[in-house]
Amino acid sequence: MKLQGKIKTGDRTKNLVNFLCPGDIAVIYHDDIDEMAALSIVNAGVKAVINTGKSMTGRFPSSGAEVLLENNVSVIDVDLSLKEFKDNDIVTITENDIIIRNHIYKNVSTVINRKYINERLQQSKENEKHEILKFIDNTVNRAAVEVSGFVHVKDYPELSTKVRGRHVIVVVRNSSTIEELNALKMYINKYNPVFIGVDGGADLAISSGYIPDILIGDMDSVSDIGIYKSREVVLHAYEDGYCPCLTRIVDMNVQYKIFAVKGTSEDAALMLAYYKGAELIVLVGGHNCMNDFMSKGRAGMASTFIVRTLIGEKLVDCKGFSIISASENEGKDAYWAKI
C-alpha cells in the first residue's frame, strides 16, 4: 500500500469535517471512531484518514472504522502526535512508514483492514462485561450526585414558541436520524409538532424539510445555516452560566436565550420540552445505550437516566422505529402484490 496527498488536521473530527475537501487526507486524534463521525468524513470526500489515536481500542464495538473501509476510505493508525502534522503538508504513507516534510518515520503506521477490525470486535466482546459494570457503576454514582441539579432547575428561558399542550419532536444528530424522520412523516403531518433541533440535529431536520422552531445546544456541531434558519436559539450553558459558544452567536448577530443546566444538550432539550408543558415528546436520533454514550466519550449516562425518569411516559424514543415502519410497509407491499 502507498498513499500520498495533502493533509488537513484537527483534534475534533466534527469540526475538521467542515474544512475537508475531496481528495484530502484527514489527520485526526479519535479513539474509537463512531459511525456519525465516519459518515461525516465519507461525505467530505477524503481518500484516507490518518488517526493519531486508536481507531478501535477494543473496549466496545465502535463501528466508524468499518464504515470508512466500506466506503473506500483508507484508515491508518500512527504512533505519532497530532502536533507532528501541519495543514496542507504533503505526506506519503507506506505499509508501516510515513514521510512528513521529507522526514521518514519508520514502523509507526498500522493499516486498518478487515483482520484488524475482527480482532478488535472479538476483544470488545471479551471486555463487554467489564465495561458494562464500569458504565453502570459510573451512572449510579453520578446520578446520586447530580439528581438535585435536575429536580430543582428553576431558570427556564422564556420561549416565543408555544409548547404547552403540543407534541414536540426533539431531533438529535445521529446516523439513524434521517430514517426515523422519514418514518414519522404521517405522524408529523397529522400533529404538526414543535421541532427542537439539538445542535447538528437542526441541520438534519432542515435537510428533511423541517424548520426547527427551537435550536438548543452548545453550537459545536450545527452549521451557520442551521442557526440562521432556526426560529429560536437557546444556548445550553454550564450550571454557572458559562457558555462556550456565546462568542460565535454574538458574532453572528443572532438573538438567543440561555438555559443553564447539567447534562448533555439532548437532556437539556428534553427537560425544556417537558417543563414547558409538552403533551408528548418524541425523541429522534437519541442516545440510549452504553455503546451510544461511550462512542461520544462519556463514561456513563447519569444525566440521561435522571431526565428520562423525570419525564416518564411523556417520552417516546423512536430508536428503531424506522426499522419497524419499514417492515410494516414491506408486509403491506407483499399483501397487495398477491391481490
d(CA 63, CA 85): 26
Distance CA 4, CA 11 (A): 21
pLDDT of residue 326: 56
292 residue type, one letter: D
Is a pLDDT exceeding 70 seen at residue 78?
A: yes
Does one domain contain both 202 and 257?
A: yes
In a domain, 74, yes or no: yes
At 92 the pLDDT is: 94
- Residue at a domain's end among 112, 130, 154: 112
Single out the residue of 85, 112, 80 nearest to residue 101, CA to CA: 85
Same domain, yes or no: 64 and 186:
no
Helix axes 302-311, 114-151, angle to 10 degrees: 50
Judgement on whether residues 151 and 101 belong to the same structural domain of the protein: no
**Rounded distance, CA 135 to CA 130, Å?**
9
CA dihedral sign of residues 307, 308, 309, 312: positive
- The mean pLDDT value for 222-231 works out to 96
Q: What is the pLDDT of residues 1-17, one digit of tens each?
A: 788 999 999 988 988 98
**Rounded average pLDDT over 166-180:** 94
Average pLDDT over residues 150-163: 90
Q: Is residue 292 part of a domain?
A: yes
pLDDT at 19 over 80: yes
Give the model confidence (pLDDT) of 293-314 as tens digits: 887 777 888 889 999 999 999 9
Verify that 215 and 286 share a domain, yes or no: yes
CATH code: domain of residue 94: 3.20.19.10
Same-domain pairing of 173 and 93 = no
Helical segments of 152-197, H only: 177-183, 185-191
Q: Do 174 and 248 reside in the same domain of the chain?
A: yes
Q: What is the CATH number of the domain that holds 249?
A: 3.40.50
> Residue 80 has what DSSP assignment?
S
What is the per-residue pLDDT for 95? 79
Q: For cell 457558555, what's the residue?
A: 243
- pLDDT, one tens digit per residue, over 183-214 is 999 999 999 999 999 999 999 999 999 999 99
* CA pair distance 292, 177, nearest whole angstrom: 14
Give me the phi and psi of 336, to 5 degrees please: -70, -30
Amino acid at 192: N
Query: Residue 332 above 50 pLDDT?
Result: no
| Residues belonging to the chain | 339
Q: How many CB atoms lie within 10 A of CB 183?
A: 21
Are both 301 and 163 inside the same structural domain?
yes
Q: Both 156 and 284 in a single domain?
A: yes
* Res 83: pLDDT: 93
Residues 261 and 308 in one domain: yes
Please indicate, yes or no, if residue 289 is contained in any of the structural domains.
Answer: yes
Kindly give, in sequence order, each residue whose CB lies less than 8 Å from that of residue 312, ignoring residues fewer than 6 positions away: none
- Asked if residue 339 is part of any domain, the answer here is no
Is 47 part of a structural domain of the chain? yes
233: three-class secondary structure by DSSP? strand
Q: Looking at the structure, do residues 105 and 167 belong to the same domain, yes or no?
A: no
Q: CA 173, 178, 180: angle at the middle one, nearest 5?
A: 100
Q: Compute the chain's Rg from CA coordinates.
A: 22
Closest among 258, 202, 207 to 228, alpha carbons compared = 202
Residue 133 included in any domain: no
> Does 218 share its domain with 300?
yes
Which residue from 59, 52, 58 is spatially nearest to 75, judged by alpha carbons?
A: 52
User: Which residue segment(s) compose the domain that 87 sits in?
Assistant: 3-112
Report if residue 123 sits inside a domain.
no
Q: Does residue 295 share a domain with residue 198?
A: yes
Residue 155 pLDDT > 90: no
Residue-wise DSSP of 11-46: SSHHHHTTT--TT-EEEE--SS--HHHHHHHHHHT-
- Counted domains in the chain: 2
| 28 in a structural domain | yes
